Structure 1
Amino acid sequence: MDERKRDSMIAYLRHRMEEYGIEPDDLASAIAGDQVTQKPARYQNATGNTWTGDGEMPQWLKQAISAGQRLEHFEVASASPVQDSQRKTIDWRDDPFAGSPLARQYTD
């Protein structure tokens, strides 16, 4: 947007705010409230497009799925990774097979 259009839009918004008695603080608190109530994104692509999973699926995701990609590919990783203290630890000191192929664990 060029500078003239921007200035024109700002003047228009200021005029409308005066007309309806809206103060800048009112606008700021409304915007802050909207940001708090927004749901976190459940799906995201490599370019940063996001979708919460509510409402109609966005076009970028429809196109990716129609091209053969799975929806799960775009899932955002959970915000709470497993803590190191919660991970299962293995004590190899008394294991006679330690270091051999028999000692490998496969988890599903």
Structure 2
Amino acid sequence: MDERKRESIVAYLRRRMAEFEIEPEDIATSIAADQERLQAVRFRDASGNTWDGKGVPPQWVVQAISAGQSLEHFAIDGASNRDPGKRTGADWRNDPFAGTRLATVSAESVGAA
């Protein structure tokens, strides 16, 4: 990003913060709380619903378990040690099918039912 564009964005943010009486400390506190909340998450589903594993399980956990899914299926590996900016999920770097026909063929073209 060029310096002029960056300065323009910073000026805009400062004006908006002044308009809503937001102090930089308020933002720092909010970011710290968000990071703490994200580090506490132990379970996540495909829709982005999360649960820290404490207290009464939320409805999405109850429904998944009732449908036969295991709680471990939703576990986030190393939740307390993960980088808050990094997305969790599959590591495709070691995909054995990368670059092969299996990686590019859709289910419809194979005739899957």
TM-score range, shorter chain: 0.3 to 0.5
Q: TM-score w.r.t. structure 2 length?
A: 0.43
Pick the structure with greater CA Rg: 1
Q: TM-score w.r.t. structure 1 length?
A: 0.44
